[in-house]
Amino acid sequence: MEIVKTVIELQSYLKGFREKKNSIGLVPTMGALHRGHLTLVKQAKEHCSVVVASIFVNPTQFNNPNDLQRYPRDLKKDCDLLETEGCDVVFAPDVTEVYPEKDERIFDFGDLENVMEGKYRPGHFNGVAQVVSRLFELVRPDKAFFGLKDFQQLAIVREMVSQLNFSVDIIPCETVRESDGLAMSSRNMLLTNQQRKNAPVIAKTLFESCNFASGKTVKETIDYVVSQVNEVEGLEVEYFDIADGYSLKAIDKWNESEYIVGCIAVFAGEIRLIDNVIYKNTGHEC
């Protein structure tokens, strides 16, 4: 596996593959890799001839400087994990490689960015769009792989691809969970033992809410999820929205959409965890 830090090295590595028309897969990450990321690499290996994993803690998507500062970083460990998964090249650039000049672009994603993560983390998705579009320009992947845990991010990336006319297939990958249900996240390693013990309540409640929802209103289901999670000491729901899975617009009634998602953000102390559950997908109840 190659580890490259500069755009020049990256592009000279990829040139040969591109000339031979080998398909290139990109797995964008911010490092602190876990099994969820490795599953993305595995899927990329299945779909593409050469797999690039980028490791870059993108400063423009952090609206909270403490969050950026305490974001876990361990390049050596990440590269070892990627190598075992058969990744071909790791692109681990410095900030100046990705942003030789300050990125002043302001994207307009309409209502997609005014809800949920977009509402509580202003500027976050603009930063995500900046970095993902830069990575797409530099790597020019045929396919890029994103986890469904970041449900709204996936919707934003798809919208960005359509607005900027990138010819890249966006491949969504299922959320990977710990054995107790907790969605894998780089932030999980920042939890105290007690917070880690409490955190699976989030996924458990989301899954239970699928049964609870039958015969109940959307509002009752929201209240149920929020109260079940908040009941656990040390957990505090920031938002829980039930929305159309495409537009992310909140729904009032279950028959308003054929694709319905519930998205949650919860604070465990200072650590913010997100997760989601699909209530309905083109007629198939969860």
Distance CA 221, CA 210 (A): 9
Interior CA angle at 217 toward 215 and 219, to 5°? Answer: 150
The token pair at 181 is 């249900």
CB of 54 to ligand PAF, least distance (A): 7
From 34, 37, 124, 284, the catalytic residue:
37
81 vs 218, which CB is nearer to ligand PAF?
A: 81
Give yes or no for residue 60 binding ligand PAF (CB under 6 A): no
Closer by beta carbon to ligand PAF, 39 or else 153: 153
Determine if 61 is a binding residue for ligand PAF (CB under 6 A): yes
Residue 204 has, within 13 A of its CA and on its CB side, a CA count of: 10
Q: Is 33 in the site for ligand PAF (CB under 6 A)?
A: no
Nearer to ligand PAF, 228 or 276 (CB): 276
Compare residues 58 and 126 and give the one whose CB is closer to ligand PAF. Answer: 58
The token pair that represents 182 in the structure block: 């907790």
Exposed/middle/buried for 255, CB within 10 Å: 0-12, 13-18, 19+? exposed
Longest Cα–Cα distance of the chain, Å, equals 59
| Residue carrying the six token digits 């071909």 | 88
Number of residues that bind ligand PAF (CB under 6 A): 10
Establish if 262 lies at the interface with ligand PAF (CB under 6 A): no
SS (H, E, C) 41-100: HHHHHHHCCEEEEEECCCHHHCCCHHHHHHCCCCHHHHHHHHHHCCCCEEECCCHHHHCC
Decide if residue 150 touches ligand PAF (CB under 6 A): yes
With CB under 6 A as the contact rule, the residue among 131, 203, 235, 271 that binds ligand PAF is: 131
Residue 257 makes contact with ligand PAF by CB under 6 A? no
Q: Is 37 a catalytic residue?
A: yes
| Distance between CA atoms of residues 27 and 34, nearest Å | 13
Q: Is 188 in the site for ligand PAF (CB under 6 A)?
A: no
Residues 5-24 touching ligand PAF, rule: CB under 6 A, are none
CB of 221 to ligand PAF, least distance (A): 27
Nearer Cβ to ligand PAF (66/282): 66
Per the CB < 8 A criterion, the answer to whether 205 and 177 are in contact is: no
What is the C-alpha to C-alpha distance for residues 174 and 35, in angstroms, rounded to an integer?
A: 12
Q: Does 58 bind ligand PAF (CB under 6 A)?
A: yes
Write down the least CB distance from residue 27 to ligand PAF, Å. 9
Judged by CB under 6 A, which of 89, 128, 139, 176 binds ligand PAF? 128
118 lines the binding site for ligand PAF (CB under 6 A): no
**Which of 132, 156, 237, 273 lies at the binding interface for ligand PAF (CB under 6 A)?**
132
The Cα 112–Cα 260 span in angstroms is: 15
Interface with ligand PAF by CB under 6 A: which residues?
A: 28-30, 58, 61, 128, 131-132, 150, 153
Q: Which residues belong to the active site?
A: 37
